[in-house]
Structure 1
Amino acid sequence: MRFMILVKATRESEAGVMPSEQLLAEMGRFNEELVKAGVMQAGEGLHPSAKGARVRFSGADRTVTPGPFPQTGELVAGFWLWQCASLQEAIDWVKRCPNPMPGESEIEIRQVFSAEDFGEAMTPELRQQEDRLRAELAGKG
């Protein structure tokens, strides 16, 4: 199973406060453990929402809202993509993670859909397209 691990933003991360050298070193060691265990597939930190935008869809209309966005606790400051045998394994890894922010912080764990989760809506043609795109992405890595 694949899981998206979402590091929630804080006032500090939204203000552009960069992590300390110590935290970067601790996260580097943790990421190394994840890679060696075959868990980590991707992971990155994100710039504050002030450097981003949101696009709202309403039928054929698109409305762009530039950042920053309110409600810091609902924003994402970084992510990992992990391959784990279960939600419990992902939880166990997150519990080993250094605190990603100074002070209190929160990490959310969400399972990523697989093709099988879509049932009959995932036709053989759509599955072939999915497989082709994944192979193309892997070739660019």
Structure 2
Amino acid sequence: MRVMILVKATADSEAGTMPSLDLLQAMAQFNMELKQAGILLSGEGLHPSARGRRVAFDGAERTVSEGPFGPTESLVAGFWIWNVTDLDEAVAWVRRCPNPMPGPSEIEIRPLYEETDFLAAATD
């Protein structure tokens, strides 16, 4: 199963604070372990929301808003896409992850829909 691992934003990530060299090295090592295990499909860090845009839809209407967005704890600072056996395996790998932020942080694990999920819905 594929999962998206969401690194939640913090005040530091929204301020554009770059990770320390130690954290960069620890994350590079963790990513290498994920790659060697055949789990890592992709992963990226995101610029602060101040550099982003949102497009809101209401019928045919489109409204574009410029960042920053909030609240900070609802934003995403980075992500991975992993291919794992199940959610328990994803949790086990996240537990091994270096803390992605200088202080308290949170990582969310979300399964991705697969084509079979939509095919099942279409035949119901």
Tell me the TM-score normalized by structure 2: 0.96
Q: For the residues of structure 1 that align with 2:121 and 2:11, how far apart are their CA atoms?
A: 44
Q: For the residues of structure 2 that align with 1:117 and 1:23, how far apart are their CA atoms?
A: 37
Is 2:82 the partner of 1:104?
A: no
Q: CA deviation at 1:70?
A: 1.6
2:122 aligns with 121
Q: CA deviation at 1:121?
A: 2.4
2:54 aligns with 54
Q: Which amino acid aligns with 2:77?
A: A
Q: CA deviation at 1:106?
A: 0.1
Question: Which digits, 9 at most, give the CA deviation of each residue in 1:64-112, with x for residues without a partner?
Answer: 0000012000000000000000000000000000000011000000000
1:92 aligns with 92
- In structure 1, runs of 5+ residues without a counterpart are 123-141
1:133 aligns with none
1:40 aligns with 40
RCO higher in structure (CA 8 A, sep ≥6): 2
Q: For the residues of structure 1 that align with 2:76 and 2:44, how far apart are their CA atoms?
A: 11
Structure ID, larger Rg: 1
The alignment's C-alpha RMSD in Å is 0.9
Report the CA distance shift for 1:21/1:59 in structure 2 as closer, same or farther (over 3 A): same
Identity of counterpart residues, as a percentage?
61
1:20 aligns with 20
How many residues align? The count is 122
Q: Which has the higher helix share?
A: 1
Secondary structure of the residue aligned to 2:17 is: coil
Runs of 4+ in 1 over 6 A off after TM superposition: none
1:3 aligns with 3
Q: For the residues of structure 2 that align with 1:8 and 1:72, how far apart are their CA atoms?
A: 8
- In structure 2, runs of 5+ residues without a counterpart are none
Q: For the residues of structure 1 that align with 2:37 and 2:14, how far apart are their CA atoms?
A: 31
